[in-house]
Amino acid sequence: MPEDFSDEEALRRLREFLREVHRILRQIDDSPWRAIAGRHRQGMHAAWESLQPKFEFARAGLTPPPHNGILPVLRLRGLVGQELEFKLRVFADARDRYFDHGGPRKGRSRGRRWWRRWRRRLAPTLAAADAILGGLGSIFPGVEAIREYATSVGLLIAIRGRDRE
């Protein structure tokens, strides 16, 4: 059984988690060409830009000192200790599979099989992120907006994939 980590470590891991989610979503926003239908790209990018302060606010809310009253709420939401460790391991596994495959990049042409595999790796990554974002969203309303954005992006990518198959 893995040992518990400190409250400060839980806060650090949650901040790191938010940085990873930001990185994945930024990568999609930077290179949406085959993943997102053209009619949605401008709106998606505008929504992405409006989320930036929400990421910063949530990360700031997760900084020590822990006497800010957030730790008891995080405990109730399963975002410290073994519950957080499990959720982060699931996310890390999905994220690593996604990054091992590689993300979309500007100017790089990829075939349909590559995009199909990419979508199959992105979907569980977003779902694993959702398990943590849901708890954080109940504490920081801005994170709920991030969660909804990630869900919407995932749906647009799934719809685009079905249209292409």
CA 6 to chain centre: 23
Look at residue 25 and tell me if it is in a domain: yes
**Pairwise CA distance, residues 19 & 138, whole Å:** 19
Instruction: Identify whether 16 is part of a domain.
Output: yes
Q: Is 117 a member of any domain?
A: yes
Residue 17 within any structural domain of the chain: yes
CB atoms within 10 A of CB 164: 11
CA 107, 96, 22, 124 torsion-angle sign: positive
Residue 125 included in any domain? yes
Q: Looking at residue 100, what DSSP letter applies?
A: H
- Would 147 be classed as within a structural domain? yes
Question: Average pLDDT for consecutive 10-residue bins of the chain (165 residues)?
Answer: 76 96 89 65 86 95 77 92 96 93 62 77 93 95 95 82 54
Q: Which pLDDT score, from 0 to 100, does residue 133 have?
A: 97
Handedness of CA 138, 144, 150, 151 (dihedral sign): positive
The pLDDT of residue 64 is 78
* 3-class SS string, 1-55: CCCCCCHHHHHHHHHHHHHHHHHHHHHHHHCCCCCCCHHHHHHHHHHHHHHHHHH
pTM of the complete model beyond 0.85: yes
Q: Please report whether residue 1 resides in a domain.
A: no
Q: Is the peptide bond before 53 cis (omega within 30 degrees of 0)?
A: no
Give a yes or no: residue 2 inside a domain. Answer: no
Which residues span the domain enclosing 43? 7-164
Q: What is the pLDDT, as a whole number, of residue 53?
A: 96
List, in order, residues 6 or more apart from 42 with CB less than 8 Å away: none
Number of domains in the chain: 1
